[in-house]
Homo-oligomer: A and B are copies of this chain.
Amino acid sequence: MTDPKQDFSVDREDLERFMGAALAVAGADQASAEAVTRALVTASRMGTDSHGLRLLPHYLQALKGGRIKGAPNMVFHQRLAATGFLDADDGLGHLAGYSAMEHAVAMAEEVGMGAVAVGNSSHFGAAGCYALAAAERGYLGMAFCNSDPFVLLHDGAKPFHGTNPIAFAAPVAGEQPYLLDMATSSVPWNRVQQYGAIGRELPDQVAANAAGEVSRVPSEIAALLPLGGSDFGFKGAGLGGMVEVLSSTLSGMQHGFKLLPMGGPDMSTPRGVGHFFLAMKPDAFVEEGTFAKGMADYLADLRAQPASPNARVMAPGDREWRCQAKRDAEGIPLDSANQSAYAEIAEKYQIAPLTRLD
């Protein structure tokens, strides 16, 4: 790799080749490597950089440490016609996620909707990937996941919930899907680190110090506030709780407060992450075609709304699809930290390095 200070973008196919090779060397079987690659590349193409290619080194480390099994024996237990449980056998959460959503879609095809609780899993990247997988097949999709604690309860002084995301996607005829993918905190944890690195103050009402007091100083931050801040954080915390109940309680896993931290230092003990996936068939409620027409009307009205000065009204996903089109044309950028990390992986795993696009 070249000087990490340079602009460095890569082709999607090259990135996929590199990820697949690295994951294979780290012990991932083909299905697992494909699922991780699919999820990370999906996120990176859409501009969800917090959950894209930067996570590869983490998964490699977790595979090498033994926390995650590269060749798991995931077993799906169908419980009733619309519900089931996927035991992910401590494998990669991405394979668990895509598999579970496949089962949910299959049930939705039969009985109108289906849901799968996943247990004994691990970090699955961006929740939106799995909601999107359903929408790409023509179904409404929802995905939820718990995580180790980063976020205060409303009026709480210590982190209790994870950033517990909610993802929702719906098919749109002739267009990319409607796609909402949001943490139930205002900002992700790595935003704090990022602002700290560039010496920037955080927005108000997004984070707190070790005493649970709101702070804007990145170096002081010990917890995130739930969406809504000091005044209305009962909403963000309530949503985080809903995600927790769906992800861990319905899957029989320990709730997020008891999870080992994603970041280690323990990279050998499985964490027992839980997820929850739901798929619905759009035409399972009203006449065929009604949903498609309604989505088109709704999005046309939404996008025609007047915006505040210097702004633009967008539907959830519009920003992501625009970014994806740009990155598909121009390449996926790696910042200097990722350039270094990928160069290190290439050397350590004896993989041909990424090729920089001109």
A308 interface residue per 8 A CB criterion: yes
Contacts of A285 in B (CB 8 A): 79, 83-85, 115-117, 250-252
Q: Look across to chain B and name the residue whose beta carbon is closest to the beta carbon of A254.
A: B297
Contact with B along A240-263 (1 / 0, CB 8 A): 011011001111111101100000
Number of chain A residues whose Cβ lies closer than 8 Å to a Cβ of chain B: 85
In the assembled complex, which residues on chain B have CB atoms less than 8 Å from the CB atom of A287?
252
Q: Among the listed stretches A41-49, A192-200, A298-306, which one makes contact with chain B, having 4 or more residues with CB under 8 Å of it?
A: A298-306
Chain A interface secondary structure, helix, strand, loop or mixed?
A: mixed
Which of B157, B158, B186, B258 is close to A228, meaning CB atoms less than 8 Å apart?
Answer: B186
Whether A325 is near chain B, meaning CB under 8 Å from some CB there, is no
Q: Known: A81-B82, A313-B153. Is A242-B115 also a contact (CB below 8 A)?
A: no
Q: Is A348 an interface residue (CB 8 A)?
A: no
Query: Smallest Cβ distance from A135 to chain B, in angstroms?
Result: 11
Copies assembled? 2
Interchain CB contact under 8 A, A242 and B180: yes
> How far, in whole Å, are A243 and B257 apart by their CA atoms in the complex?
29
A126 at the interface (CB under 8 A from B): no
Residue A290 at the chain B interface, CB threshold 8 Å = yes
Known A-B contacts A168-B242, A286-B85; A313 and B257 likewise in contact (beta carbons under 8 Å): no
Name 23 interchain pairs, CB-CB below 8 A, sorted by A. A80-B284, A82-B107, A83-B111, A83-B280, A83-B281, A140-B245, A154-B314, A155-B311, A155-B312, A156-B313, A157-B306, A160-B301, A180-B242, A187-B232, A203-B231, A206-B232, A227-B236, A238-B316, A249-B298, A252-B286, A255-B294, A255-B298, A258-B301
